[in-house]
Amino acid sequence: MRFHVLSIPHTITSRDYNACAYTQKVLKFGKMMTNLGHEVIHYGNEASQLICSEHVTVTTKKDLEISYGNYDWKENLFKFNINDHAYKVFEKNCILEIDKRKRRFDFILAFFGTAHEKICNYFDRRWYIPVEPGIGYTKTFAPCKVFESYALYHALLGKPEDNSIGMNWYDAVIPNYFDKDDFTFRPQKENYFLYIGRLVSSKGLDIAIDVTEKIGAKLVIAGQKSEEIDIKQFPSHVEYVGYADSETRKKLMSNAKAGFVPSRYSEPFGGVQIEFLLSGTPTITTDWGAFTENNIQGITGYRCRTFEQFIWAANNINNIDPYNCRQWAENFTLEKIGLMYQEYFDIVYNFYKYQSWYKSDIKRQNLDWLTKNYG
């Protein structure tokens, strides 16, 4: 199969941009599907670094500078506008370059949802297949969609206007995917808790701070700053280390006794939670969203709803076996999830080829594409 992969216009597809989950999905998708023998054509910035069949430059570093100046995105949250210079150049050049390379029944993958809609709509949907391959947002457009969790999928289908039209056979739930090489498993832990992510209240940063202060434990915080959180007001038990590059992230995660991911909203996936588990580090999360699927109560950590529950979880986190965390997290590796995507793209390709739900030339050996290993 052939995939035209649309990257994130305001970033560069590389490991450096690990603060952007969508950029990292593009990066890992290239390796995942190329390793399975598929043709992956990546459209992105000239400085992109990823495994793929072909990289096509559609924006330059100068385009990013024109749009965003020289602000430090590692220090502060990303800034972008889908109508800014970088996005317009990206859109124009993607259409030109895809047009040169397209073949019948190619997939065009909109990793940033409606920001890629105009590019996908330019090409005739009878012959070219637009897919949103990793939905972690609420507004969608493509005829074929992959959601990161059943929590998000069902929440969006809960809208009356969606329920009235029934289900779409060519929508699916496939979890986010991770490269095992990006993490170090370490069963022996140091004496600190870790929060890593955007410094915003919606991520529950204050909960992590209050819980660790209450039990007299050290909390390490890493991530991009925001205007709503004043790091100067952090209490003495908190160590703020700023933005964590890939190697720093790996070390912090593998050594922490637990990771706090107490998001106040319904996480569509919450990739950092699986990253902790790959490091053998249990997680303390809220009890909603994708955490209800991915944080197995009493096995990979604890899900909580009250302050008292968070206190108990933090005080009893040593009951969680790091080996169980790692074993569960291996359900989300490139090797495992790549086969799920391959199955999904096979059935979508088959439908476009025959325009029939009933006709298929797939030679099936099994039907275990959704199977997880529970240990």
Please tell me the predicted confidence (pLDDT) of residue 374: 64
**pLDDT for residue 159:** 63
Residue 228 is predicted with a pLDDT of 87
Of the candidates 231, 194, 232, the residue with the CA atom closest to the CA atom of residue 212: 194
What does the pLDDT read at residue 258? Answer: 98
Question: Distance (Å, rounded) from C-alpha 297 to C-alpha 151?
Answer: 17
Termini Cα distance of the chain: 33
DSSP 45-104: ETT-----SEEEEEE-HHHHHHHHTT--TTTB-----TTSHHHHHHHHHHHHHHHHH--T
For 340, phi and psi rounded to 5 degrees?
-65, -45
**H or E element at residue 261:** strand 258-261
The structural domains of the chain, ordered by start, are 2-177+334-354 (3.40.50.2000), 180-330 (3.40.50.2000)
Q: How many CA atoms lie within 13 A of 261 on its CB side?
A: 32
Output the pLDDT for position 372: 81
Distance of CA 299 to the CA centre of its chain: 23
Q: What is the pLDDT of residue 206?
A: 96
Distances (CA, A) of 53 to 28, 280, 304: 13, 33, 44
Place of tokens 């979890």: 175
SS3 category, 239 = strand
Compute the distance between CA of residue 305 and CA of residue 311 in angstroms, rounded to an integer: 11
| Residue 30 · residue 42 · CB < 8 Å | yes
Residue partners of 141: CB distance under 8 A and separation at least 6: 110, 113, 114, 117, 120, 132
Q: What are the structure tokens assigned to 258, written together?
A: 């637990």
Q: What are the structure tokens assigned to 107, written together?
A: 């997939």
pLDDT score of 324: 97
Tokens of 169: 């056979």
**CA dist., res. 115 & res. 47, Å (int):** 21
Helix (H) or strand (E) holding 156: helix 150-157
CA atoms in the 13 A half-sphere facing the CB of 117: 11
CA distances from 99 to 88, 104, 291 (A): 17, 11, 41
H or E segment and range at residue 330: none
Pairwise CA distance, residues 291 & 88, whole Å: 36
Cβ neighbours around 350 below 10 Å, total: 16
Provide the 10 A C-beta neighbour count for residue 132.
24
Give 163's DSSP letter.
H
Contact 199, 223 (CB under 8 A): yes
- As a whole number of angstroms, the distance between CA 85 and CA 72 comes to 19
User: Could you say which DSSP state residue 333 is in?
Assistant: B
**Cα–Cα dist 275/182, whole Å:** 9
Lookup result for tokens 């991009």: 224
pLDDT tens string, the chain, 375 residues long: the values are 999 999 999 999 999 999 999 999 999 999 999 999 999 999 999 999 999 999 999 999 999 999 999 888 888 889 899 999 999 999 999 999 999 999 999 999 999 999 999 999 999 999 999 999 999 999 999 999 999 999 999 998 866 555 445 689 999 999 999 999 999 999 999 999 999 999 999 999 999 999 999 999 999 999 999 888 899 999 999 999 999 999 999 999 999 999 999 999 999 999 999 999 999 999 999 999 999 999 999 999 999 999 999 999 999 999 999 999 999 999 999 999 999 999 999 999 999 999 999 999 888 888 988 888 765
φ, ψ for residue 69 (rounded to 5)? 70, -155
> What is the length of the chain?
375
Q: What's the pLDDT at 105?
A: 96
Q: What is the pTM of this model?
A: 0.94
